[in-house]
Structure 1
Amino acid sequence: MTPAFSHLDIDTLERWLDDHSEVTLVDIRDPQSFAQGHIPGSRHLDNDSATGLLEQVPRQRPLVVVCYHGHSSQQAATWLASQGYTDVYSLDGGFTTWQHRLPSRVAVT
């Protein structure tokens, strides 16, 4: 059985953002970490905001899940795929690698 999500590298995500591709970024880190820095355009996702995401984001739109290091996002991506999303990605290296490689592309709430 193939995984319900795909792995996405940082270079590809950076290119998608530069190209203004239609993609939804969800960050599953804790609220304080998200507030201190996140990928611009991402939205915080937790148990409380999951219903809103499911109601607002079209199932066919690419969905990228971001966590600290790219591990927890795989479980979340699997769950989102089980909710009917057809194009789900887990960001390899997570926010930690993004922040290290692209410090100028970090937003603060």
Structure 2
Amino acid sequence: MSQNAFDHLDPATLAQWLDAEEPLTLVDIRDPMSFAQGHIPGSRHLDNASVGALLDETPCERPMVVVCYHGNSSQQAAAWLAGQGYDRVYSLDGGFTDWVAQHPTRVET
């Protein structure tokens, strides 16, 4: 891991991991309406109300990818999650905006 305690992940690598069915936890920290309008398949919405369940349900050794709008807020969330003891935490570079631009058919509503 980097000194930030999380790493950056590009959309192409995430797509490869999803195609290979790599075991990972994908969390989306955008607002509930944005998440409902479209998100990466397999992701779960994460906010202050649901973070406790995530921490209880997710093994610390399981890779975790954090998605936001543009890849900025996810960095803070990823750093926080790494501080909770998760071994491999990633912030999706470019966020959901870049994901949609590169993978428009890989969006779930």
| Fold equivalence (TM over 0.5) | yes
SS in 2 for 1:104: coil
Query: Per-residue displacement from partner, 1:45-100 (whole Å, max 9, x unpaired)?
Result: 00000000000000000000000000000000000001010100000000001011
TM-score, scaled relative to structure 2: 0.97
- After superposition, residues 7-86 of structure 1 pair within 5 angstroms as 7-86=8-87
What is the root-mean-square deviation of aligned Cα atoms in Å? 0.8
Percent of residue pairs identical: 66
SS in 2 for 1:97: helix
Q: Find the aligned partners of 1:49 and 1:31 in 2 and give their Cα distance.
A: 12
Runs of 4+ in 1 over 2 A off after TM superposition: none
SS in 2 for 1:105: coil
Structure 2 gap segments, 5+ residues each: none
Q: Which residue is 1:101 aligned to?
A: 102
Q: Find the aligned partners of 1:103 and 1:12 in 2 and give their Cα distance.
A: 16
TM-score, scaled relative to structure 1: 0.97
> Number of paired residues?
108
Q: Find the aligned partners of 1:105 and 1:52 in 2 and give their Cα distance.
A: 26
